Chains A and B, each alone.
Chain A
Amino acid sequence: GNSVTQMEGPVTLSEEAFLTINCTYTATGYPSLFWYVQYPGEGLQLLLKATKADDKGSNKGFEATYRKETTSFHLEKGSVQVSDSAVYFCALRNNNAGNMLTFGGGTRLMVKP
């Protein structure tokens, strides 16, 4: 079946530090991959996506590259801000398994001034 594994948090960084949140997946076929962000008390917002191997998704300074050979979709940002503090979820959608998303457990990021 499908599964997504994320690094456990919390991840605590100082402002302007480099961020990496690891995400690996297991799926049959060719899934689409996503990063969602959840700010305190809110729902999930789509941060970025990639639909095929070697695609790079990017948004608001965040990037992630779909690596089929390592089944990974690591999230990176060169310089984090306090406002990036949130929980980040990696997810996949497998066209062979309906329209639902399979989520990782989430990684809490805390950025200190």
Chain B
Amino acid sequence: NAGVMQNPRHLVRRRGQEARLRCSPMKGHSHVYWYRQLPEEGLKFMVYLQKENIIDESGMPKERFSAEFPKEGPSILRIQQVVRGDSAAYFCASSRSGENYGYTFGSGTRLTVV
């Protein structure tokens, strides 16, 4: 049973380009969470999604960032017109519904904006 799969592992974008980060949750998991880790900092919550629904996007920047979790396929975190400050590691996690313990993280996508 594969864990949470994120791709790509490393992504380099020039300023102004778009970045698309993918996350496939564990089999049987219908809840997906995205976190961002800036260099030498802890993880900050961005968005919580269930299939076809955004449940909580309180940690998502209001502009340029969007997330989706379609009925079929992986969850996508999209960053438009990237800037240097977007350089970070982006982690996805998944869980089943009603879990009362920590969920499973992927290995992350390290985005570098040049």
Contacts and interface: CB of A to CB of B under 8 A. Distances in A.
Contacts of B42: 89, 103-106
Interface string A71-112: 000000000000000000101010100111111111000000
The 3 closest A-B CB pairs, nearest first, are A103-B42, A43-B107, A43-B105
A42 interface: yes
Q: Helix, strand, loop or mixed for chain A's interface?
A: strand
Interface residues of B, number: 26
Interface string A41-57: 01111100101000000
A103 B44 contact: yes
Contacts of B108: 42-43
Contacts, number: 64
A112 B95 CA distance: 36
Interface of B: 4, 6, 31, 33, 35, 41-45, 48, 55-56, 59, 91, 95, 99-108
Given A32-B101, A95-B100, 5 more contacts: A34-B102, A98-B48, A99-B55, A101-B102, A103-B44
Contact of A32 (B4, B6, B56, B100): B100
A36 interface: yes
Interface of A: 32, 34, 36, 42-46, 49, 51, 89, 91, 93, 95, 98-106
Contact of B102 (A93, A98, A102): A93
B102 A99 contact: no
B35 to A, nearest CB: 8
A3 to B, nearest CB: 11
A63 to B, nearest CB: 17
B105 A44 contact: yes
B107 A106 contact: no
A105 B41 contact: yes
Given A34-B102, A49-B102, A93-B102, A99 B95 contact: yes
